[in-house]
Amino acid sequence: MRFEDDLDSPLFMISIAAELAGMHPQTLRVYERRGLVRPQRSAKNTRRYSRRDVERLRRIQELTDMGLNLAGVERVLAMEGQLAAMAREVEGLRARLSETMDDMRRAVAQAERGQRFELVPLRSAALVPLPRRRRGR
């Protein structure tokens, strides 16, 4: 992976990150106090923002431009995080389902090879109910 492709590398000082996000550096400090963004710190304790942080700052700016206050922004970002986590979970479940389906197909194929006759799927519409015999007749 190239360094430029790493979204989480701390690259930007606060003034550069603020300029890239289109806001004042003091606004970034407020957002950090609110927990909306968590820049990494250098050895000298200066804030360093990553590309992902700048993207998040732009998203915050977009939401506030829509009229949301910071409490609303916090809630939207939390819900977007939950949605992303659920999407990753769904993808994992789809992968597991695909693996299970492949396993089942292999098991059916193996069962068919082990039988003298082929297995024939039986549809419920093909069943014809037989009349019940009465006792004593």
Asked whether residue 56 falls in the same domain as residue 101, the answer is no
Instruction: Indicate the residue type of 19.
Output: E
Sign of the CA dihedral with 121 first, then 127, 132, and 133 last:
negative
pLDDT score at 120: 67
Q: Taking 70 as the threshold, does the pLDDT of residue 123 lie above it?
A: no
Domain around 17: 1-67
Query: 52 is written with which tokens?
Result: 């992902």
CB 51 within 8 A of CB 7: yes
Pairing of strands 40-41, 47-48: antiparallel
Sign of the CA dihedral with 6 first, then 63, 20, and 14 last:
negative
In a domain, 34, yes or no: yes
Asked whether residue 45 falls in the same domain as residue 101, the answer is no
Sign of the CA dihedral with 46 first, then 31, 74, and 23 last:
negative
Asked whether residue 6 falls in the same domain as residue 50, the answer is yes
What are 66-99's pLDDT values in tens digits? 999 999 999 999 999 999 999 999 999 999 999 9
Long-range contacts formed by 41-45: CB under 8 A, 24+ apart: 42/10
Asked whether residue 73 falls in the same domain as residue 63, the answer is no
Q: Taking 90 as the threshold, does the pLDDT of residue 109 lie above it?
A: no
What are 43-59's pLDDT values in tens digits? 898 999 999 999 999 99
